[in-house]
Amino acid sequence: NAGVTQTPKFQVLKTGQSMTLQCAQDMNHEYMSWYRQDPGMGLRLIHYSVGAGITDQGEVPNGYNVSRSTTEDFPLRLLSAAPSQTSVYFCASSYSAGLGEKLFFGSGTQLSVL
């Protein structure tokens, strides 16, 4: 059971560089989302998708882009990395976007922007 797979596990970028964090799920889940986790703060929603071709902004979307061309994949793009984007990023999915549905998380990507 792969569940939610995130790559890479670790990444170091220089300010201004761009990159894509990959996320794939094999559970045929409708809902997918990206969160960032910073010390002393709860997980914060960046972007989410309720199905292929449908995406929307979360609480902290600035500096990030997403797309969802298939049910399985939901990549997160950093357009021009900034030190403030140093964080641990989690991709999560759930069967639907219903009330308080259980989230299945990937193992995270630790990103450092120098």
Partner 1 sequence: KNQVEQSPQSLIILEGKNCTLQCNYTVSPFSNLRWYKQDTGRGPVSLTIMTFSENTKSNGRYTATLDADTKQSSLHITASQLSDSASYICVVSSGGYQKVTFGIGTKLQVIP
According to CB under 8 A, which one of 43, 52, 60, 82 is a site residue for partner 1?
43
Cβ-in-10-Å burial (0-12, 13-18, 19+) of 41 comes to: exposed
State the minimum distance, in angstroms, from the CB of residue 13 to partner 1.
Answer: 20
User: Does the footprint of partner 1 cover residue 94 (CB under 8 A)?
Assistant: yes
State the minimum distance, in angstroms, from the CB of residue 41 to partner 1.
Answer: 6
User: Does the footprint of partner 1 cover residue 40 (CB under 8 A)?
Assistant: yes
Q: Are 103 and 38 in contact (CB under 8 A)?
A: no
User: Does the footprint of partner 1 cover residue 107 (CB under 8 A)?
Assistant: yes
Helix (H/G/I), strand (E/B), else coil: 103: coil
- Residues numbered 47-66 forming contacts with partner 1, rule: CB under 8 A: 48, 56, 58
